[in-house]
Chain A
Amino acid sequence: MLLNTLTFHAPKTLAEASDLFGKLENVRLQAGGTFLLNALKLQKRKGTKTPEHIISLSKVKELIGIDTDKDKMTIKAMTTIDDLFESDLLNDNFAVLKTVCRNISTQPIRNMATVGGNLTCRYTWTEMPAVMIGLNAAMHFDGGSSMEAEKFFKNAAKTDKIFTHVEIKRDPKASIAYRRVKKTQFVDIPLLSLMINTTFNGNQFTNTRVAVNNCVAFAQRDQKLEEFLNNSQKSSTLADEALNHIDAAIYDTRSSDYKSHMFRVSLKSAIAQLVNSK
């Protein structure tokens, strides 16, 4: 027996899920289950308290799917990472999601893990938070409330509502660089990720967002670097100069220097990609 005793619920509608979530105590929501099930096993091994109820959202069809129109993309919470990767809707600024999804974990995990689970599981090292902050996405919750992704993660990803979908504005003019470093090719322990999203006015960086996930704290923006870039033009020395204008505290991971160095390499590489883009 891998898990402690629990009662399993599989509602078929969001209303039913919401009702159960409101009524039950000591309850956890299950999206893809890739974090939750392993966490429950670990808690059992450690002898710590585990939830009495699990509500799986896997059968709630209204929480599955991807949609786009001329203004935005909507990704529903229970859409798997693999389904997002395979989607033929990933154009304009949404195209970066292909790269993001491709680099997440392994195929069986990508088949199970969901965008909603990745955003709301409250593990600091998951991939989607920095991406959604970088894309200035809005997170929507059951009952109609919504919040900018940046604000959600500033509040340590806390919510008492069921996350339903994320909306990203379409931006055909965006230039985006994304970097993610994991431990080895075959052991997928993420160490850092970052996204730089900018719009070039000629050679001038404008409306730049730099979203950083140091995997220790929740993802956040480096506004100091954003300000520097927004006052900069494309140049061959920009990537080196930019390193003198970062908010160093964001990159302080309380681990050895190698991680800070990897951040510097990744930032340089991302900025160089943007400088060299047409």
Chain B
Amino acid sequence: MTTLHINGKNYEVELKGYETLLEVLRDKLGLTGTKTACEESECGTCCVSINGKSLLSCIKLAADCEGDRVTTIEGLADGDKLHPLQQAFLDRGAVQCGFCIPGMIISAKALLEKNTNPTREDIDYALDGNLCRCAGYLKIIEAIEHAGKIMQEEGQAA
């Protein structure tokens, strides 16, 4: 058995060496907020946070995550209180079909944890691996800027 530390909990999982983190999250642990799309590291829908950085779970072996802090989209809200990024995405109408949004939020979270006042260039750079097929980038960027301000007000600044 391998212990995976995900969203603040320890999961004892029988892992096979070839299973990707994406497969384990979705198929073994029921954490389906992390999405499956290209499965070849191009689209960013499978992004999860590992030790505070946004990584692609489709090209990360689950067994390679032992001892790491993994955060998925399910781990962001505090009970009923959404994370400022989740709330900002709703408030700013940044969600269209929604499929890319978990990955977008995870990548944005990694950025805002370093810098709550990012420039547009900073946001473009941090999210260059997250594709939105609805092309709703402008609202997404505005939501991230707004979330950064909320995080500053709430003292969640880096």
Contacts and interface: CB of A to CB of B under 8 A. Distances in A.
Contacts of B17: 5-8, 54
A189 to B, nearest CB: 11
Given A41-B40, A106-B128, A107-B129, A112 B55 contact: yes
A108 interface: yes
A8 B63 contact: yes
Contacts of A102: 125
Contact of B40 (A38, A59, A108, A111): A38
B13 to A, nearest CB: 13
A interface residue count range (under 10 / 10 to 19 / 20 to 34 / 35 or more): 20 to 34
A108 B22 CA distance: 14
B56 interface: yes
Given A108-B56, A108-B129, A56 B20 contact: no
Nearest to B131: A186
A49 to B, nearest CB: 14
B66 A34 contact: no
Contacts of A34: 41, 56, 59
A47 to B, nearest CB: 16
B40 A8 contact: no
Given A37-B61, A107-B54, A59 B67 contact: yes
23 contacts: A1-B19, A1-B23, A3-B19, A5-B17, A8-B63, A8-B64, A10-B63, A10-B66, A37-B60, A38-B59, A41-B40, A59-B67, A105-B129, A106-B44, A106-B128, A107-B54, A107-B126, A107-B128, A108-B41, A108-B44, A108-B130, A111-B110, A112-B56
Ranked nearest first, the 9 interchain pairs of A and B with the lowest CB-CB distance are A106-B129, A8-B17, A37-B59, A3-B18, A111-B53, A108-B129, A8-B63, A106-B128, A108-B56
